[in-house]
Structure 1
Amino acid sequence: MTTAALDPATLKLPENASLLTRLHLATRILRVIKGNEGNPVYGQTINLCLDQGVYATLVERLRGSEDGRRLLSERPSLEAGDVDLDALARLPEGTLGHELVRYYRDNEISPFQTTLELKSDLDYIGKRYRETHDVLHLLTGYGTDVVGEMELQAYALGNLGIHTARLILALGTLGQLKTPQTGVTRSEYLRRVRDAYRRGRASRLFLDVWFEHFWEQPVTALRERWLAPAERMN
């Protein structure tokens, strides 16, 4: 699997591209995007390949409520530089803000960042989906290991119907079934991603949430408010 950057000239999606063409291009990007998730060309091209329709539906949903219209108008951001991590770290332990900073530090990562110019509400929703990734890790409790990442993709697929999550999950599952991660059997892996998908379907749509308004609230309370239980669902 190559990790070389892709030439932007090769990433232009042909007009009226077939599903096979869109899947092929999205797969090429997914093979090189790790560690460069904020690349505006990669991100926007994947959106065009797979999720424009999904994001359009989400935008229409948001436009149907006062809070949603305000979210689209003000476009709050969880990007690096837009969130005062030092201030959040001073919040009491257990709060969303404090625990998000702990999550970043424990995993030695930084908030999402991109140079994408937001020209439409669809651009914003695509960016918002990516920048809420770490908040969703924290709220769901899914780890940042391979299996935990696949659980989060399954949750996002169940919750929003994101096709990029579907593709990532398919590729990750093929790899897991071929070479299982240490300590996780194939049957356990399949059960965990199935349960994460069902949990996502049973939970509130997370892109409706203005997380920045809840920094001082306990994670446990927000998890109970927004998410279905993590226990196995039959």
Structure 2
Amino acid sequence: MSHEFASAPATDPRPMFNPARVKPRFRPFKAMHHFRKLIADKEDTSEVFHIFEALPRRNFRVEAQAFVESDEGREIIRREPYLPDLLDDHERLRAMPAGSVAHAYCDFMKSEGLSAAGLVAEYDRFTGGKRFGDLMEYYGNRNRDTHDLLHVLTGYGRDALGEQCVLAFTYGQNPAPANLFIAYAGGLNVKKTTKSDAPVFKAINEARKLGRACPRISEQSIIDLLAEPLDAARKRLNITPPVHYEEAHRRLRARGIDPYDLLTNAA
């Protein structure tokens, strides 16, 4: 069975960089302001985007250009012009083999009440729907749209520590300062909230190392990845079970703390 989705033209007409883009500024105090707001309401994803805007990633343009101009990148652009359409087509994903990444992804998104389009809507709320229409935007969108897939591949949940670990894993792959800032600031908040001996920072450090050892997920063919058996995909990508994260959960529960309810309890 073919798992092809709608393809883009063989020659992409978009420019690499839209000159209307404004050079991002490094604003750590703004990042801290929005992190405090994120802690107050962890479901307000727009705060995450504000933090990323305030702590821009060095060499992003260079890395984006290297990907989209490579043979592999051009083929991925042709096969996967817009990831949310692929990721939200659960009927097509469920047609992939049982035990595949696709089935685990659908199960995760259903259980959490999430959709790829929902994340895009949050981003559009942050930007006001502004588009640049360049290949840098395409590359950046792939980083955004594969976030929930990282939860599935790594085994990190959507609890407070799990989110910090996914961001640390992402930093290991794509070194945006915002990933690291939220991961460690969030970890500090978990330690402050729980006052436990849970190895929070060991879990975050482990996630960062796992991300560094793994090929960049956003630069993989997501169609092909989804069709792989989950265990085989993890082995190919060097993703091993998160030992310290599981231990942190064990120690939190031993103290009567639900890892998935930390921020609610702290409010």
Same structural fold, with TM-score higher than 0.5 when normalized by the shorter chain: yes
The match for 1:94 is 99
Distance 1:89 1:63, change over 3 A: closer
Q: Tell me the percent identity.
A: 23
Amino acid at match of 2:148: D
The match for 2:201 is 190
1:165 shift after superposition: 0.6
The match for 2:175 is 161
Whichever of the two has the greater Rg, that structure is 2
- Residue deviations 1:152-181 (CA, integer Å, cap 9, x gap): 111111122122211211320221121128
Amino acid at match of 1:224: K
SS at match of 1:113: helix
1:212 shift after superposition: 1.9
Distance 1:52 1:102, change over 3 A: same
Q: Aligned partners of 2:112 and 2:89: how far apart in 1?
A: 18
Bigger relative contact order, structure 1 or 2 (CA pairs below 8 A, ≥6 apart): 2
TM norm structure 2: 0.67
Distance 1:215 1:206, change over 3 A: closer
Aligned partner of 1:145 among 137, 154, 159: 159
Quick check: 1:46–1:164 contact (8 Å CA) kept in 2?
A: yes
1:201 shift after superposition: 1.3
Distance 1:227 1:24, change over 3 A: same
Q: Aligned partners of 1:92 and 1:132: how far apart in 2?
A: 20
1:59 shift after superposition: 0.8
1:140 shift after superposition: 0.8
Q: Aligned partners of 1:71 and 1:143: how far apart in 2?
A: 28
Amino acid at match of 1:105: K
Quick check: 1:55–1:125 contact (8 Å CA) kept in 2?
A: no
Unmatched segments (≥5 aa) in structure 1: 1-13
How many residues of Structure 1 are paired with residues of Structure 2 in the alignment? 212
Amino acid at match of 1:179: T
CA RMSD of aligned residues (A): 3.1
Amino acid at match of 1:100: Y
Bigger mean CA offset, 128-137 vs 159-168: 159-168
The match for 2:147 is 133
Aligned partner of 2:186 among 172, 197, 200: 172
TM norm structure 1: 0.76
